Amino acid sequence: CALSKLHIPLWGSSEIAANLFESIYCLSSIRGFEDVTNISNYAFYNCSGLTTASFPSVTSIGERVFTYCKNLTTASFPNVVNVGSMAFTYCTNLTTASFPNLVNIGTTNGGYGIFEQCNNLATAYFPVVVSIGNWAFGYCSGITQLTLPDSLQSIGDYAFYNCRGITQLTLPDSLQSIGNNAFYNCSCLTQLTLPDSLQSIGDYAFLSCSGITQLTLPDSLKSIGCEAFGYCSGITQLTLPDSLKSIGNYAFYYCSGITQLTLPDSLQSIGDYAFLSCSGITQLTLPDSLQSIGDYAFYNCSGITQLTLSDSLQSIGSYAFLSCRGITQLTLPDSLQSIGNYAFLSCSGITQLTLPDSLQSIGSYAFRYCSNLTQLTLPDSLQSIGGSAFAGTQITTLSINSFSEITSIFSKLIGGGFGTGLLTNLNVIIKQIQDDTTDTLIARVQEILTLTKSSNTILGKANLQCMLDVSATGITAASCPPITGDIDWQIVY
């Protein structure tokens, strides 16, 4: 190919046709297109020798126009207002891009990836841009400092994906949304201050930005997407804003550097795996606004020693606090209705457990291997206890507050709550309700005798002792005949 320079004065022509110069590898420079306003799709595609291109009047650039122009170093288009998908993709030697009138980078007509894989791009000038589209600067690892203009409102999905060179990021006060994977694996980014205008952070937005040590979230933020800050292991302090209502799944998982976590009073839900393996957290106070904790939400947060649950909490998901071995005291709120499977499995530090009167269900293995738990009080509201819910504990004293649900609760507990053959000694304390008479007392005790005799076999012939507390009823030893049977009963007056 002998052609290296092209100068074609196209007076009166306003367009360069599609594919016109595609794959002319030896073409190095272009001029003479002063009147051209539109460059159509693939016009200079794969012109790998092209180093300079001057189009002072162009307002529109089509799709893949300069893709694979690997030696192009500068893209300066003072009047361009529209750029198509992948227009400069794989221009690997492009260092400077200047588009002073471009409003949308790859968001018009579905455009995306305009500068993707331009890994030497260091300077980008877009002073009036309103939106940055998907993959716009993906893999542009040469960008080190990024200041986005005050006009910017949205950053699309994967917009700065894997831009590992970015160390400083300044986001404008006009920004409202950050898309999915927008800054994924920008691992050299150290400080991140998000503007007060920001309302949402998309899924995976800052995933694996392990260099971030300081994170300031604005009061305008309402939602944090799935895995938004996952593996940001450098973050040590995290204060979430008062406007936040939900934390997405995996949002901060494996952020092992977090030692202080402050959750706002506006928070209603914490997603699955949200803080999984955040082993640095030592104190956790959940706000009164919180209604649900997702599955695995604090799984393996082994550093937590103090846990305060919110008064409005209704459900704790499966595996939510599994292997949080540092928790010693656990007080569950009166609003709680369900505890999921494995929720507190292997929380071996728990020695005291109070179950609220609102609790309806305890999942399978919920407190299994809580090996220091010795006492348990079951509420009247409890309707179901999953298999092996308390297996592997050291519970020897079981308190049941009244006879009203004793048959169903006791049978469900014995029928699998302690597992098979693990319980060797059980003391049952039954507190008598105020309005019971001697006649009803005797009838109900006979009911318990029948139940416990059959249950004793299920327990693996455990040593079963029952104590009946009638101190609040006015029943006296003289008026209550002795209780006989195979079970060791004791009545406390």
The tens digit of pLDDT for each residue in 117-128 reads 999 999 889 999
Residue 78's pLDDT is what?
93
- pLDDT of residue 465 exceeding 70: no
Q: What percent of the chain has pLDDT over 90?
A: 48
Q: How far apart are CA 464 and CA 270, in angstroms?
A: 42
Q: What is the pTM of this model?
A: 0.75
- What tens digit of pLDDT does each residue of 324-338 get? 999 987 889 999 999
Dihedral pair phi/psi, residue 131, rounded to 5°? -140, 145
Q: What percent of the chain has pLDDT over 70?
A: 77
Pairing of the two strands 375-378 and 96-98: unpaired
Neighbours of 260 (CB within 10 A): 12
- pLDDT of residue 38 exceeding 50: yes
377 pLDDT band (50/70/90 cuts)? confident
- What tens digit of pLDDT does each residue of 342-369 get? 999 999 999 888 889 899 999 999 999 9
- pLDDT of residue 163 exceeding 70: yes
Neighbours of 16 (CB within 10 A): 24
Residue 461's pLDDT is what?
43
Question: For residue 95, with 0-12 CB atoms within 10 Å meaning exposed, 13-18 middle and 19 or more buried, which class applies?
Answer: middle
Residue 6's pLDDT is what?
57
Higher pLDDT: 404 or 471? It is 471
- pLDDT of residue 463 exceeding 60: no
Residue 475's pLDDT is what?
61
422 pLDDT band (50/70/90 cuts)? very low
Report, as an integer, the average pLDDT of 37-65: 92
Token pair 């309302």 in the structure block, residue: 199
| 217-231, 368-382, 475-489: range with lowest mean pLDDT | 475-489
Average pLDDT, the chain: 82
- What tens digit of pLDDT does each residue of 227-248 get? 999 999 999 888 888 888 889 8
Residue 29's pLDDT is what?
83
- pLDDT of residue 148 exceeding 80: yes
* Residues near 450 by beta carbon (within 8 Å), at least 6 away in sequence: none
- What tens digit of pLDDT does each residue of 264-290 get? 999 999 999 999 999 999 888 899 999
- pLDDT of residue 381 exceeding 90: no
Residue 215's pLDDT is what?
84
255 pLDDT band (50/70/90 cuts)? very high
456 pLDDT band (50/70/90 cuts)? very low
Higher pLDDT: 287 or 436? It is 287
Report, as an integer, the average pLDDT of 119-145: 92
Residue 210's pLDDT is what?
92
Report, as an integer, the average pLDDT of 140-169: 91
Neighbours of 201 (CB within 10 A): 25
**Dihedral, CA of residue 201, residue 203, residue 208 and residue 209, to nearest 10:** -10
Residue 491's pLDDT is what?
59
Residue 149's pLDDT is what?
92
Higher pLDDT: 410 or 150? It is 150
| 9-18, 67-76, 81-90, 472-481: range with lowest mean pLDDT | 472-481
- pLDDT of residue 488 exceeding 90: no
Dihedral pair phi/psi, residue 185, rounded to 5°? 60, 30
* Residues near 145 by beta carbon (within 8 Å), at least 6 away in sequence: 166, 167, 168
SS3 sequence of the chain: CCCCEEECCCCCCCEECCCCCCCCCCCCEEECCCCCCEECCCCCCCCCCCCEECCCCCCEECCCCCCCCCCCCEEECCCCCEECCCCCCCCCCCCEEECCCCCEECCHHHCCCCCCCCCCCCEEECCCCCEECCCCCCCCCCCCEEECCCCCCEECCCCCCCCCCCCEEECCCCCCEECCCCCCCCCCCCEEECCCCCCEECCCCCCCCCCCCEEECCCCCCEECCCCCCCCCCCCEEECCCCCCEECCCCCCCCCCCCEEECCCCCCEECCCCCCCCCCCCEEECCCCCCEECCCCCCCCCCCCEEECCCCCCEECCCCCCCCCCCCEEECCCCCCEECCCCCCCCCCCCEEECCCCCCEECCCCCCCCCCCCEEEECCCCCEECCCCCCCCCCCEEEECCCCCHHHHHHHHHHHHCCCCCCCEEEEEEECCCCCCHHHHHHHHHHHHHHHHHHHHHCCCCEEEEEEECCCCCCCCCCCCCCCCCCEEEEEC
Report, as an integer, the average pLDDT of 206-213: 92
Q: Bridge partners of 5?
A: 29
Selection from 184, 158, 183 nearest residue 171 by Cα:
183
For 229, 282, 284, 385, the CA distances from 248, given in Å and listed in that order, are 10, 22, 18, 29
Q: How far apart are CA 180 and CA 227, in angstroms?
A: 10
Q: Bridge partners of 276?
A: none
Residue 457's pLDDT is what?
41
Residue 3's pLDDT is what?
56
